[in-house]
């Protein structure tokens, strides 16, 4: 965005897009640094509002950053737990097939489904996908807890199965929450950046009027504003009589 304050001046000030939150924040920081060197009488009427919003947007970006860090951390943990869960369900499935191959309906007590149609009718199905795997592992753990210790399957160890179920449930929830936190931070910081830019533009006008005799000059760069030289306008050619 370009702002021209006087038609005969040699410079214009250009502002970043409100969508460029990082650049708005950089401009805001430079503006406040310069304003803090000014006497109270010379500061703009917008300075303290800008300072307040600057603090708010910093908190919002911390929220965004924290949400992203937590999301990445949880995603890595979920990937590791997914591998463990896949290995466990294969091991349990083999045990079910070995133990109940002739009476597959028994495997439903541990959360497994039985194929009802096709060539594989009566086959103990291995669950596919995280949700189905976690559901089956959870039921397996529940059933095993309800049986006497001496009757439980020797492998995998019940505590290992329960740990994976608990870990996946907790981390998937955390990741979902972190995504929401990041989205809130992004939205709020974008809205605040737009409000900040409006105030910074208004402050630039006041500085030009009060301290620069109504003309845009390179002095504005002290506040972080980008000042550019105007392109000379071509004078219309004068036709010979």
- Closest Cα partner for 77 from 167, 145, 197? 167
Residues 125 and 114 sit within 8 Å (Cβ to Cβ): yes
Is residue 237 included in any domain, yes or no? no
- 235 occurs within a structural domain: no
Cα angle: 109, vertex 146, 110; to 5 degrees? 20
Q: In total, how many domains does the chain have? A: 1
Residue 238 lies in a domain: no
Inside any domain, residue 234: no
Quote the pLDDT of residue 176: 62
Give the predicted TM-score (pTM) of the model. 0.48
pLDDT at 217: 86
Residues in Cβ contact with 139 at an 8 Å cutoff, skipping those fewer than 6 apart: 110, 111
Q: Per-block average pLDDT, block size 10, for the chain (241 residues)?
A: 55 81 87 93 93 82 54 69 92 93 92 83 89 92 93 90 88 65 67 89 91 86 88 57 47
State pLDDT tens for residues 182-230: 665 667 778 888 899 999 999 999 998 888 888 888 888 999 998 888 7
Q: What is the pLDDT of residue 99?
A: 92
- Which residues, listed in sequence order, are joined to residue 229 by a DSSP beta bridge? 11
Indicate whether 236 belongs to any domain. Answer: no
Supply the range of the domain harboring residue 93.
2-229
DSSP 114: B
Strands 226-229 and 11-14 turn out to be antiparallel
């Amino acid at each position: 965005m370009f702002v021209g304050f006087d038609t005969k001046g040699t410079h214009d000030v250009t502002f970043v897009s409100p969508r460029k939150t990082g650049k708005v924040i950089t401009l805001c920081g430079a503006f406040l640094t310069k304003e803090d060197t000014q006497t109270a009488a010379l500061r703009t009427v917008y300075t303290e509002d800008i300072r307040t919003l600057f603090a708010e947007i910093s908190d919002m970006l911390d929220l965004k950053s924290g949400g992203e860090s937590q999301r990445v951390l949880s995603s890595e943990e979920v990937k590791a737990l997914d591998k463990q869960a896949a290995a466990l369900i294969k091991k349990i499935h083999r045990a079910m097939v070995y133990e109940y191959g002739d009476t597959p309906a028994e495997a439903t007590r541990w959360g497994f489904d039985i194929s009802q149609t096709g060539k594989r009718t009566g086959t103990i199905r291995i669950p596919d996908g995280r949700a189905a795997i976690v559901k089956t592992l959870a039921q397996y753990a529940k059933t095993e807890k309800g049986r006497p210790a001496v009757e439980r399957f020797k492998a995998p160890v019940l505590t290992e199965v329960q740990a994976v179920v608990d870990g996946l449930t907790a981390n998937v929830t955390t990741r979902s929450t972190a995504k929401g936190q990041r989205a809130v931070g992004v939205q709020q910081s974008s809205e605040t950046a737009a409000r900040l830019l409006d105030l910074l533009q208004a402050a630039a006008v006041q500085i030009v009027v009060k301290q620069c005799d109504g003309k845009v000059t390179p002095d504005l760069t002290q506040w972080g504003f980008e000042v550019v030289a105007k392109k000379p306008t071509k004078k219309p050619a004068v036709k010979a009589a």
